[in-house]
Amino acid sequence: MRRRTGVLAAALVLAGCVAACAGAGRQGSGAGDRDRLTPAQLAATNTQSLYDAIERLRPEWLTSRGPTSVTDATLTMPSVFMDGQLMGKVDYLRDLRITDVTFVRFWPAGQAAARFGMGHPRGVIEISRR
């Protein structure tokens, strides 16, 4: 009987660990979501441009990983899509006001390729405008 209780307790602990790990990797799980910014989060930055707000809240979205090729030393920056259209690189964000934005989401390179096509080695910042 004692051994069964020990095995059952170990199984419950293992199940709890698995559930916790699975929940930690979920996208869209609320305030801790590192791939999205809400209008409330943007407004809390007290900035005017979307670039400045992202720079404060998610600076890793705006960083370059350096050249993607030995023969091409051009730094790669994320592409910016607004309402499904390619707008350019991150400098475009300087012209957008945070009050004009419904949501902002970052898509890493692999997910960006699946959603927006190839050619976005540093990912995509997707914006929906009001």
**pLDDT of the residue at 7:** 52
- Report percent pLDDT > 90 for the chain: 52
Nearest partner of 93 among 49, 36, 128, judged by Cα: 49
Taking phi over 0 as left and psi of -120 to 50 as alpha, with beta for the rest, 119 belongs to: left
Mean pLDDT of the region 27-56: 83
Please state which of the ranges 2-11, 56-65, 102-111 shows the lowest mean pLDDT: 2-11
Q: Report d(CA 43, CA 52) in Å as an integer.
A: 11
Residue bearing the bigger pLDDT, 9 or 50: 50
**Token pair for residue 24?**
């930690």
Does 28 score more than 60 pLDDT? Answer: no
- The token pair at 31 is 């305030």
Buried b / exposed e along 88-116 (16+ C-beta atoms within 10 A): eebebbeebebeebeebbbbebebbbeeb
Please give the model's pTM, rounded to 2 decimal places.
0.69
Between 74 and 26, residue with greater pLDDT: 74
